[in-house]
Amino acid sequence: MKDLLFVGLGGMTGSVLRYTLSKFLSPTLIPFPFGTLIINIIGCFVAGIIFKLTTNNISEELSNNLTSLLIIGFCGGFTTFSAFSIESIILLKQGKILLMASYIFLSSLLGITFCIIGMMFIK
């Protein structure tokens, strides 16, 4: 039951922050979903940091609580893979194949890269 509370609290916080940032970062001149891309990169970076911290020398209970709150809850609510998928399909339907391919490539490459950087950030 405690895990559900942590996941819910983290998810609500992440979702509210994602919504706020995506409104601020919404595209104006270029029809490229920069907001979602930036949010996913930040989320991967934070997830990498938290993952590394929770696998270091802390108690198993604290590790599980932090994982539930911050990785599953916050990062799950903050990152936007479903939005990424829909935006990719919209670009495809608009015939913007190069933009769609760039978006998919950058999201994947930068997401993995920043997750690794987040892990390296915590030695």
Asked if 18 and 77 count as a contact pair (C-beta separation under 8 A), the reply is: yes
Which residues constitute the domain of residue 50? 2-10+35-121
**Helices 34-55, 97-121: crossing angle, 10 deg rounding:** 20
Q: Does residue 23 lie in a domain region? A: no
Q: What is the pTM of this model?
A: 0.78
Q: Does residue 22 lie in a domain region? A: no
Q: Does residue 30 lie in a domain region? A: no
Asked if 73 and 14 count as a contact pair (C-beta separation under 8 A), the reply is: yes
pLDDT values of the chain reduced to their tens digit, one per residue, 123 residues = 899 999 999 999 999 999 998 888 776 667 788 888 889 999 899 988 888 888 777 788 888 898 899 988 999 999 978 778 888 998 999 999 999 999 999 999 999 999 999 999 887
Q: Does residue 25 lie in a domain region? A: no
Q: Does residue 102 lie in a domain region? A: yes
Number of domains in the chain: 1
Distance of alpha carbon 18 from alpha carbon 16, whole angstroms: 5
Angle at 75 between CA 73 and CA 80, to 5 degrees: 115
Q: Does residue 67 lie in a domain region? A: yes
Q: Does residue 17 lie in a domain region? A: no
Angle at 35 between CA 12 and CA 66, to 5 degrees: 35
Q: Does residue 70 lie in a domain region? A: yes
Residue with tokens 């190069």: 98
